[in-house]
Amino acid sequence: MDIFVELKRRNVFRVGVAYLVTAWLLAQVADLALDNFDAPGWVMKTILLVLAIGFPIAILFAWAFEKTPEGIKLQKDVDRDKSITSVTGHKLDRGIITALGLAVIFLLYKVNVEDADTAAVQVAQETSQAAVGETTQGKAHEHSVAVLPFVNMSSDPEQEYFSDGIAEEILNVLAQVKQLQVAARTSAFQFKGKNLDIQDIGRQLGVAWVLEGSVRKAGERVRVTAQLIKTDNGFHAWSETYDRRLDDIFAIQDEISGAIAQALKVTLNVPGEGQVASGDTRNLAAYEAYLMGRHQLNQRTTESIKAALENFKRAVDLDPNFALAYADQGIATLLLMDSNGSYGDLRPSDALDAARPLVDKALGLAPNRPEILAAKGFLERDSNNFELALDYLDRSLAINPANGEAQNWRRMTLHALGRYGDLLDASYDSVRYDPMSRIALFNHALELQDYRRNDEAEATALRLRELDPPWGEWALGRLARNEGQSGIAAEHFLRAFRERQQAREQLEGVYSDVGLYHEAARLSPDDTVLAAWARGGISEAFKVAEASYREDPWSGTRGPYAGLLWETGRIEEIYPLALEFWQETGEGAGLPPTILTLFATAARAAGDSYRSTQWRTLAGERQDQIERSNRVGSDWDIPLARAHLAAYDGDGDAAMAYLTKATEAGFWAESHQWKNDGLFAQYSSRSDFRELRKLWDKRLAEEREYIANLLCGDEPPVPDYEPAPETCTYVTIK
């Protein structure tokens, strides 16, 4: 029997082709569907495995069986003269043609979608480039406008808050006009006090129109002048001067805002109706206290936020129904909590307990004000109610997309939810609406780095440095530290640590990373873990961390204590702390895979198989999700996370392979917690692990010497900086 002829007669080739085409089509549809449902990575792997196993089964089935009018029979039981394999073959041909047709349609659809996605990414990149000041070929949208801060022409410089408040109210009104793109307050107010050309302002903000004006208060009178200017040619399209008595500032505010908004719509020919929002109080003293509070809140320093809080309290004391003042009082309270990105020392639980009734009161008084919806979203985000937070922030931005704060809070919420597929677009939105915002540019630079768009990230940070040198140095330092370049990071942080507390904290971290504990302790209070480490090493640091946690068990003391338990091998004791973290974060929202793997290890050590399995599974799913989104962080983040997971699973060879890959990508265990990692400790006797540690130690010594030479050299990076004597023992260049 000719085997080839027999394979052809039994339609084995046709079945194979039909199976492959159909399987490919099913895999593509499944991949598309699973991505939309954000399904774990193992689901797609299982589908592919089943399809792969099915192929030889289909081939064997086609060889051994034949379809007959009486049903499926073994080939040996079918009379050759009565065989209908040729008929079956024609049916298979038609099926293959149909499947191939569907595959072609799917490919065309996919190509078109990918082209659209690529175009969207290109638009987003152009937006980011415009935000960092690069030249673009695009023209500003005709219906785009920036409201510059109005000049205070009053004899009293302290009245500046009033002129700022007038401009901000007009901006908020315009931002709610459909089809009108309004630059966010943070960006527009960057030009306060700067005598720049209107064309340059328009280019930097990406707007076609600029509204500028002045305010003069004298006794019981107020004069407001406003003018609308075309940015490409300086043409004054509209101007008006309003003279009014001060005893009815609210009617003045409404009239001015309404007149300017209506004039803009007529001049710009914007379709649709925009509503002019009136103030939430008719009490002049309450309103002025509120405007002063807003002025102070926008400065974003600890002292200014505390002062703002007092003015908001005064405003609601004067008018108990002043909704916006309640909302901003709640925001100020949240900004004063002791957490990453905040400005105070309030315990998070205390800040949340104080802020919630304030924001809820505001929401009850004015449930549709975008500023209050944003405040509610901010509150729920800090309360780890992330889905609820996203709903409120989306509702707020649907009304006023120019709220730069809300755009940033939304980006942070998406991150906490693990919505990495939406995160980059949200970051681009932040700089599109608020291209001069320090916070937006800082976060955008770090986000771009996480997606490995390093050139764009650096350009964004450099643009930020042009706007605000300490902020820019802080951003450049963060970018360098994330790449393991501790020495370069220290240079940037040293240029900013006196102006930015966050840069100071990062500098402490860099010093600690390279073992310069005495240097780190000089930047910290005497009662901190770092100071204790400098005095007596890890044992002394552990005593301080444990005592701090026992005295006041909250997230600020729990983290250092858990980290030192991990380093000292007391893994089982981490379990109750892990449960506290789990509950506080809304069952792990936003926790990275490495932390979840640590939790799973602690649960396993404590004998809780349910939690260990739950946390290990979630760690793997979250890592799959990160890798699918291409938000990979540094080049070594993925292999390092995979090494952690493999070590938990007891696969030492895989763990070492991943650790080697991470090391080749630049990882050098810059944190002592990685060197003393509770999972990797089981491999301390392996020669390959010892070799990796030697490489890490070599890189650590190089980074430490770089910083020592920097601090102890003839030309210190900042004036009047005196390094610790212990630091200079590492100097190699005299």
How much is the pTM?
Answer: 0.74
Q: Which helix (H) or strand (E) holds 145?
A: strand 144-147
Query: Which of 201, 234, 268 is the C-terminal boundary of a domain?
Result: 268
Residue 317 maps to a domain: yes
pLDDT value at position 494? 95
For the cut 80, the answer to whether the pLDDT of residue 590 exceeds it is no
Q: Exposed, middle or buried, 256 (CB in 10 Å: 0-12/13-18/19+)? A: buried
In angstroms, the Cα distances linking 599 to 99, 584, 622, 679 are: 47, 14, 14, 11
Is there a single domain that holds both residue 196 and residue 150?
yes
For the cut 80, the answer to whether the pLDDT of residue 254 exceeds it is no
Residue 130 maps to a domain: no
Confidence of residue 50 (pLDDT cuts 50, 70, 90): confident
For the cut 80, the answer to whether the pLDDT of residue 115 exceeds it is no
Residue 123 maps to a domain: no
- Of residues 1 and 731, more confidence is placed in 731
Q: What value does the mean pLDDT take over residues 32-37?
A: 63
Lowest mean pLDDT among 260-264, 616-620, 674-678: 260-264
d(CA 707, CA 280): 54
The strand ranges marked E within 485-575 are none
Confidence of residue 527 (pLDDT cuts 50, 70, 90): low
d(CA 101, CA 275): 52
pLDDT value at position 80? 63
Q: Answer for the pair 144, 174: CB distance below 8 angstroms, yes or no.
A: no
Sign of CA pseudo-dihedral 631, 637, 641, 646: positive
pLDDT value at position 109? 61
Q: Which amino acid, one-letter code, is at 225? A: T
Angle in degrees, CA 467, 473, 474, rounded to 5: 110
Is there a single domain that holds both residue 537 and residue 563?
yes
Q: Answer for the pair 217, 181: CB distance below 8 angstroms, yes or no.
A: no
Give 67-91 as a DSSP string: EETTEEEEGGGS-GGG--HHHHHHH
Q: Answer for the pair 377, 403: CB distance below 8 angstroms, yes or no.
A: no
Tell me the per-residue pLDDT of 381-419, one tens digit each, with 9 for 90 and over: 999 899 999 999 999 999 888 888 899 999 999 988 888
Q: Compute and round to an integer the Cα radius of gyration of the chain.
A: 32
For the cut 80, the answer to whether the pLDDT of residue 147 exceeds it is yes
Q: Who's near 661: CB < 8 A, 6+ residues apart?
A: 636, 639
Lowest mean pLDDT among 423-437, 506-520, 532-546: 532-546
Q: Which residue has the tokens 């006023």?
A: 400
For the cut 70, the answer to whether the pLDDT of residue 122 exceeds it is no
pLDDT over 70 for what percent of the chain? 83
Which of 67-71, 120-124, 375-379 shows the highest mean pLDDT? Answer: 375-379
Is there a single domain that holds both residue 449 and residue 546?
no
Q: What value does the mean pLDDT take over residues 588-605?
A: 90
DSSP β-ladder status, 151-152 and 209-218: parallel
Residue 138 maps to a domain: no
Confidence of residue 284 (pLDDT cuts 50, 70, 90): confident
User: Nearest 5°: phi and psi at 718?
Assistant: -135, 150
Nearest one of 389, 411, 407, 497 to 187, comparing CA atoms: 407
Counting runs of H as helices and runs of E as strands, what totals does the chain give?
A: 31, 8
Is there a single domain that holds both residue 200 and residue 109?
no
Residue 273 maps to a domain: no
Which of 14-18, 222-226, 530-534 shows the highest mean pLDDT? Answer: 222-226
For the cut 60, the answer to whether the pLDDT of residue 38 exceeds it is no
Query: Which of 240, 268, 296 is the C-terminal boundary of a domain?
Result: 268
Q: Answer for the pair 66, 73: CB distance below 8 angstroms, yes or no.
A: yes
Q: N- to C-terminal Cα distance for the chain?
A: 88
- Of residues 412 and 118, more confidence is placed in 412
For the cut 50, the answer to whether the pLDDT of residue 596 exceeds it is yes
For the cut 60, the answer to whether the pLDDT of residue 438 exceeds it is yes
Confidence of residue 124 (pLDDT cuts 50, 70, 90): very low
d(CA 577, CA 277): 48
d(CA 25, CA 31): 10
Nearest one of 248, 309, 313, 326 to 283, comparing CA atoms: 248
Give 14-50 as a DSSP string: HHHHHHHHHHHHHHHHHHHHHHHTT--HHHHHHHHHH
Say which CATH number the domain at 159 has.
3.40.50.10610
d(CA 654, CA 432): 43
Is there a single domain that holds both residue 349 and residue 223?
no
Is there a single domain that holds both residue 415 and residue 299?
yes
d(CA 183, CA 172): 10
Say which CATH number the domain at 498 has.
1.25.40.10
pLDDT over 90 for what percent of the chain? 36
Tell me the per-residue pLDDT of 463-494, one tens digit each, with 9 for 90 and over: 999 989 999 999 999 999 999 999 999 999 99
If one counts the domains in the chain, the total is: 4
94-107 burial, b if ≥16 CB within 10 A, otherwise e? Answer: ebbeebeeeeeeee
Measured in whole angstroms, the distance separating CA 503 from the mean position of its chain's CA atoms is 19
Confidence of residue 444 (pLDDT cuts 50, 70, 90): very high
Nearest one of 447, 376, 379 to 411, comparing CA atoms: 447
Is there a single domain that holds both residue 111 and residue 249?
no
Is there a single domain that holds both residue 685 and residue 602?
yes
Confidence of residue 277 (pLDDT cuts 50, 70, 90): very low
pLDDT value at position 81? 60
**Token pair of 723, please?**
């390094």
Size (the chain), residues: 734
d(CA 612, CA 629): 26
Is there a single domain that holds both residue 260 and residue 209?
yes
pLDDT value at position 118? 44
Confidence of residue 249 (pLDDT cuts 50, 70, 90): low
pLDDT value at position 583? 84
In angstroms, the Cα distances linking 549 to 337, 492, 546, 555, 585 are: 18, 33, 5, 9, 18
The strand ranges marked E within 201-262 are 209-218, 221-230, 236-245
Angle in degrees, CA 169, 174, 179, rounded to 5: 160
Domain coverage including residue 576: 532-710
3-state class (DSSP) for residue 182 = strand
Is there a single domain that holds both residue 416 and residue 499?
yes
Q: What value does the mean pLDDT take over residues 153-176?
A: 81
Say which CATH number the domain at 587 has.
1.25.40
pLDDT value at position 157? 77
Residue 726 maps to a domain: no
Which letter does DSSP use for residue 682 in this model? G
Is there a single domain that holds both residue 84 and residue 221?
no
Mean pLDDT of the chain: 83
pLDDT value at position 270? 38
Residue 83 maps to a domain: yes
pLDDT value at position 267? 44
Confidence of residue 540 (pLDDT cuts 50, 70, 90): confident
Residue 566 maps to a domain: yes
Is there a single domain that holds both residue 199 and residue 321?
no
- Of residues 499 and 587, more confidence is placed in 499
For the cut 80, the answer to whether the pLDDT of residue 136 exceeds it is no
- β-pair partners for 213: 226
d(CA 19, CA 26): 10
